[in-house]
Amino acid sequence: MNAGVRVRTGGLRSFVARRLLLGAAQTVAVVLLVFALTEALPGDAAVALAGDQPDPARIAAIREAMDLDRPAYERLADWAAGLTHGDFGTSLASGRPVSGYIADGFGPSLLLASLTLALLVPLGFGLGVLAARHEGRLVDRLVSGVTLAVYAVPEFALGVLLVTVLALKLAWLPPTAVGYGTDLLAHPAALVLPVLVLLSRPVCSLSRLVRAGMVDALASPYAAHARRYGVPGARVRYAHALPNALAPAAQQLARTVDWLLCGVIVVEALFVIPGLGTVLLNAVAERDVPVVQGLAVVFGVLTVVLNLGADVVAYRLTPRAGVAA
Amino acid sequence: MYDERFSGLRRRGFLAATTGAAALTLVGCGGDTDSADGKNGGGTPKRGGRLRAAFAGGGASETLDPHLANLFADVARAKALYDKLADYGADLSAQPRLAAKWEPDKTLDRWQVTLRKATFHDGRPVTAKDVLYSYRRIADPEQTFRAKASLEPIDLDASRATGDRAIEFVLKRPTAEFPNILAAFGAYIVPDGARDFDSKPVGSGPFRFVSFTPGRSAVLRRYDDYWEGAPHLDELEFVVANEESARVNALLGGQVEYAHELNPTTARAHEGRGQIEIVRLRNSAMQAFCMKTDRAPFDDKRVREAFFLIADRKELVDGALSGAGVIGNDLFGKGYEYYADDLPQRAQDLDRARALLKKAGAEKLKVTLDTSAVAAGFTEAASIFRDQAAKAGVTIDVKMGSKDSYWSDILDNGTLCCYRSGAMPIEAHISQRLLTESTTNATKWRHKDFDALYQQAQSTRDTTERAAVYARMQRRLYAEGGFLVWGFADWILGTARNVKGVRTAAPANTLDWARFDKVWLA
C-alpha cells in the first residue's frame, strides 16, 4: 500500500513538472500569437487614437511619440525583457503601468468568479445528483428539461430579460453596478443579477455532467457489487459513484473558472462591471499592445494553472484512467 | 462600441491676403445667455443635490488632462473643470467665455484679447500667463495634442501678455474667424505650469475636483466662486457605461439622472411615457456619403450630380437614423452661422440621374461603397443607398471595414464611403476638409479658386461681406462638391424627470451641450 502511494506521488510530481513546462511553452505561444494578431489588425495605436481626425502628420507624430516607428520585434523584445523582472510595461494610450490595468480589472472579475463558483458547485452537483438519483423519473426529467432550456438562452438575452423583469418592472434589484467601481462588495444587491446570469449556463453543463457520471457509475458492476454486500445506498452514491463523476466535472469546473476570470464581456458590459474583459476589449480597440500582451500573459498563466489543477484532481480521483498530459 | 469620437477643429495654412478696413470690435454679451428658448422644463432653479451622468467612456486609459480630450465623456469632464477663452453657441458662432472681449487690428492678424475676472479653484486669478502657458503646451512640437493644428495660425513666440488680463495674439496671417480658434476643441486654459491632471487638477470651471477613477467615475463639487455664478448642483458625478442598454437601464432604475447618447429606438420607446425625459439635440451629426473627386468615376461632376439625385434622403433618415434627424441638402452645417439655406432642397430624380450618367458615359456603373460599424447607422445607410442606386442602374458593392481604423482607411483609399461629422463652424469644416492643404480632405476637393475664396473670407472683416463669400463657396459645393450630405442626426439624451435646465437647442459639442452648471434637480 505504502509503496503504491509513493509510486503514484512520484508519478504525480513528474506529471506536474511536465505539465508546468508545457504550460510555460503554451503561455509563450499565446503571447506570441496575440502579439502577431494584434500587429496584424488594421491600424495601430496611433491610428486608433487619431480617430476621426486622421491627419497623416499627426498620426506620424503620435507613432513616433509611442515608439511605434520601431520594428515590431524590437518592441516585443523590450517588452519581454521587462517581463523577466516583473515589469509589464506601460500602456500606449495613457502611459500608465499595465500592471495597474490588470490589478484594477482583476478585482471585479475575481469577485464575480468567486461568488459564481461558490454557488455553482453546490447547485451543479446537487442538481446532478438529484437527477441521477431519480433517473428517468419526473424529477430527472424536470431538472434535465429546465437545465437544457436555460442553457439554450444566450447570456445577453437572459441578462436583458432579468434586468427588465427583476430590476425595472419589479424594482427588486438595481439594474446595473454603474458608479460602484471596485467597491462592489458594498453593494451586494448589484451583484445578484450578474451572478445569476453567470451561473445560468455553467450550472446546466455541470449538472448534466455530474448526472451522466453518476448514472454511469451507479450502473457499473462495482456499484452493483457494493450494493450486494449491503453497503447503504447513500454510501454507494456519495463514496463510490460520485467520485467517478467528479473527474470530468472538475475539468469542466476549471474551464468555467477560467472563463469567469478572463472576464465575461457580455456580463461586464450589460451590468457595467469594469473587469478584465472590459480592459481587454478597450485595449484591443485602442491597439494598446502592451496592455493586450499583459492580459495575454495573465490569461495564459490562469488557463494553464487551472487546467493543471483540474487534471491533478482528476488524476487523484481516477488513477486507473490515467491522464493525458 | 465606445469610440464615438467627435470632431475637433483643424486648421490649415493659407497665404496671407490683406484688406484694409476700419477697426471692428467683437464684443460678446458677456453675461448669461439664459434665454427662454430651448430649455428642458422651467421653474425657478433649485440649489443642491447630486447629479450622476452616464457617458460612454475610454476605459482605464481615461485622463482628466483637458488637452487630451477626445471622447464626449472627456469633453464633458473637461468643460466642468475648465474653461476655454470662447465656446460655440447653438449656431456654432464663437461666444466669449474666459475672454471678455476680442478686438482685431486693421489687418486681422493681430488680436487684443481681454480676460474677464475669473479665478482658479485654488483662488489664483486667471491671467494672461496661464493662457499663454496653456496654448504653448498644446502647440508644443514634441507633443501631439489634438488642438495643436487648430492653434496653428497663432504665432505663439510673438504673442505676449500686455497686462495681467490682456494678451496680444500675433497671427501668421489674417484670420477673421480668430474667435473660432479660441473656441477650438480642447483649447482649455490650465494654470501656468500645470502638468499633473489626474491627482488634483485645478481649473477655472464651474466644478472643482473631488475624485477620479479612470474608466469608472469622476466626482466633482460646485465651485462657489465661478465667474458666471455658482452651479445649482452640489455635486456632479460622471460615470462610465459603454453599453447603451446599460445607460438606459441605469437611468430607468434611478441609478443615474442623465444618460448621454441613446439610440433612436430607445428614444421612441420611452418618449412621452412619463418615466424619463428624452432630449433631442438637433443638427448634431452630419451624415454623408463622401465621393473622391480626384478619381474615376467621381472626377466627372455629372456623375457626382447623378449621385446627388439618386439619394432618397427621407428614406435614408427614416431607415438609417430611425427617423431621428432631418434631411440634408449636400451642405455641411444646417442651422449654423453662414449656412446657405436659400438653396433649393434636392430630391430624388432617377430619370435625370440616369440621363447624367449616360452623358458621362457611365451607364452600368459599378462602385464600391466603404462602410463600417464605426458610427450608428453607417451600415444601414450603405445598404439603403445600394438599393436606391440600383434603381438608377448603378451597382454598388458595400464593403465593411474595421471600425478602429476606419477614418484613416477611407482618407486616401477607395472612391465612395460613409462619412459623418460632429458640429463645428462651417469655416472649420472648410479649412479642415476642403482646401488643397487640408489634412483630412476625404473628398480630395482641391481647387485653387476655392482656396482663394477661403482666404478672401478670412481677410474680410465685414460679416455681411464674409457671409456672401461663404455663400458663394457653398453654392459651388452644392452644385459639384464631393459630399452627398443626406441628413443631420439628432443627438439623443435621456434625463430623469426631476432634471431641469437641460438645453435642447444646442448641438452636441457646443457650449450648452452637457452643461451641468445650468442644470438643477427639482
pLDDT confidence of A235, banded at 50, 70, 90?
Answer: confident
Contact map slice: B 66-85 vs A, CB within 8 A: 70
Instruction: Please tell me the predicted confidence (pLDDT) of residue B41.
Output: 54
Summary mean pLDDT of chain A: 84
pLDDT confidence of B44, banded at 50, 70, 90?
Answer: confident
- Asked if A179 and B249 come within 8 Å (Cβ–Cβ), the reply is no
Model pLDDT for residues A11-37, shown as the tens digit of each residue:
778 888 888 888 889 888 888 888 888
Instruction: Please tell me the predicted confidence (pLDDT) of residue B37.
Output: 43
Instruction: Please tell me the predicted confidence (pLDDT) of residue A9.
Output: 59
Using CB atoms within 10 Å of the CB of residue A172, give its burial: 0 to 12 exposed, 13 to 18 middle, 19+ buried: exposed
- Asked if A167 and B249 come within 8 Å (Cβ–Cβ), the reply is yes
Which residues partner with B396 through β-bridges? B367
Instruction: Please tell me the predicted confidence (pLDDT) of residue A236.
Output: 82
pLDDT confidence of A184, banded at 50, 70, 90?
Answer: confident
Helical H runs in B341-490?
350-359, 378-391, 406-412, 426-433, 448-458, 463-480
- Asked if B59 and A279 come within 8 Å (Cβ–Cβ), the reply is yes
Q: How far is CA A51 from CA A313, B65, B420, in A?
A: 49, 18, 12
Q: What is the ipTM of this complex?
A: 0.83
3-state secondary structure at position B418: strand
Cβ neighbours of B239 in A, within 8 Å: 178-179, 272
Cβ neighbours of A50 in B, within 8 Å: 407-408
The helix (H) or strand (E) run that includes residue B72 is helix B72-81
Task: Please tell me which residue, B485 or B439, carries the higher pLDDT value.
Answer: B485
Identify the weakest region by mean pLDDT among A245-259, B266-280, B345-359.
A245-259
pLDDT confidence of B81, banded at 50, 70, 90?
Answer: very high
A165 touching B (Cβ < 8 Å) = no
3-state secondary structure at position A140: helix
Asked if the model's pLDDT at residue B470 lies above 90, the reply is yes
- Range B504-514 average pLDDT: 91
Instruction: Please tell me the predicted confidence (pLDDT) of residue B22.
Output: 35
A167 touching B (Cβ < 8 Å) = yes
Residue of A41, A53, A88, A271 to mutate, interface with B, max B Cβ within 10 Å: A53
- Range B381-401 average pLDDT: 95
Contact map slice: A 68-97 vs B, CB within 8 A: 91, 93-94, 96
The alpha-carbon gap from A193 to the nearest alpha carbon of chain B, in Å, equals: 13
The alpha-carbon gap from A289 to the nearest alpha carbon of chain B, in Å, equals: 13
Size of interface A-B (CB pairs under 8 A): 162
Instruction: Please tell me the predicted confidence (pLDDT) of residue A216.
Output: 86
- Range B343-367 average pLDDT: 94
A224 touching B (Cβ < 8 Å) = no
Task: Please tell me which residue, B366 or B509, carries the higher pLDDT value.
Answer: B366
B411 touching A (Cβ < 8 Å) = yes
Identify the weakest region by mean pLDDT among A33-42, B18-27, B453-462.
B18-27
- Range B86-106 average pLDDT: 95
Domains belonging to chain B, first-starting first, are 88-191 (3.90.76.10), 283-490 (3.10.105.10)
Identify the weakest region by mean pLDDT among A146-150, A155-159, A249-253, B27-31.
B27-31
Instruction: Please tell me the predicted confidence (pLDDT) of residue B40.
Output: 53
Model pLDDT for residues B273-296, shown as the tens digit of each residue:
889 999 999 999 999 999 999 998
Identify the weakest region by mean pLDDT among A144-148, A276-280, B19-23, B440-444.
B19-23
Q: B373 is written with which cell numbers?
A: 460599424
Identify the weakest region by mean pLDDT among A231-245, A265-279, B72-86, B220-234.
A231-245
Which residue has 452644392 as its cell numbers? B478
Model pLDDT for residues B233-284, shown as the tens digit of each residue:
999 999 999 889 999 999 999 999 999 999 999 999 998 888 999 999 999 9
Task: Please tell me which residue, A266 or B473, carries the higher pLDDT value.
Answer: B473
Task: Please tell me which residue, B203 or B4, carries the higher pLDDT value.
Answer: B203
pLDDT confidence of B92, banded at 50, 70, 90?
Answer: very high
The alpha-carbon gap from B492 to the nearest alpha carbon of chain A, in Å, equals: 20
Nearest to A88 by CA among A281, A293, A301, A302: A293
Q: B288 is written with which cell numbers?
A: 454623408
3-state secondary structure at position B504: coil
The alpha-carbon gap from A65 to the nearest alpha carbon of chain B, in Å, equals: 8
The strand pair at B366-372 and B416-421 is best described as parallel
A171 touching B (Cβ < 8 Å) = yes
Instruction: Please tell me the predicted confidence (pLDDT) of residue B462.
Output: 93
- Asked if B409 and A282 come within 8 Å (Cβ–Cβ), the reply is no
d(CA A325, CA B341) in angstroms, rounded, equals 74
Identify the weakest region by mean pLDDT among A172-181, B22-31, B429-438.
B22-31
Number of helices (H) and strands (E) in chain A: give both, helices first. Answer: 14, 0
Instruction: Please tell me the predicted confidence (pLDDT) of residue B149.
Output: 87
Contact map slice: A 240-269 vs B, CB within 8 A: 269
Region for residue B201 given its phi and psi (left: phi exceeds 0; alpha: psi -120 to 50; beta: otherwise): beta
pLDDT confidence of A10, banded at 50, 70, 90?
Answer: low
Model pLDDT for residues B399-449, shown as the tens digit of each residue:
999 888 899 999 999 999 999 999 999 999 999 999 999 989 999 999 999
**Nearest beta carbon to residue B241 from set A101, A171, A272:** A272
Instruction: Say if CB B227 and CB B32 are below 8 A apart.
Output: no
d(CA B64, CA B74) in angstroms, rounded, equals 7
Which string of b and e fits A286-309 if b means at least 16 CB within 10 Å?
bbbbbbbbbbbbbbbebbbbbbbb
Q: A244 is written with which cell numbers?
A: 467517478
Percent of chain A with pLDDT over 70: 94
Which residues partner with B91 through β-bridges? none
Asked if the model's pLDDT at residue B205 lies above 80, the reply is yes
Nearest to B60 by CA among A106, A179, A104, A89: A104
Q: Searching chain A, which residue's CA lies closest to the CA of residue B241?
A: A272
B13 touching A (Cβ < 8 Å) = no
Which residue has 492653434 as its cell numbers? B151
The helix (H) or strand (E) run that includes residue B146 is none
Asked if the model's pLDDT at residue B46 lies above 50, the reply is yes
pLDDT confidence of A319, banded at 50, 70, 90?
Answer: low
- Range B338-362 average pLDDT: 95
- Range A82-105 average pLDDT: 87
pLDDT confidence of A8, banded at 50, 70, 90?
Answer: low
Q: Searching chain B, which residue's CA lies closest to the CA of residue A277?
A: B59
Q: B399 is written with which cell numbers?
A: 464593403
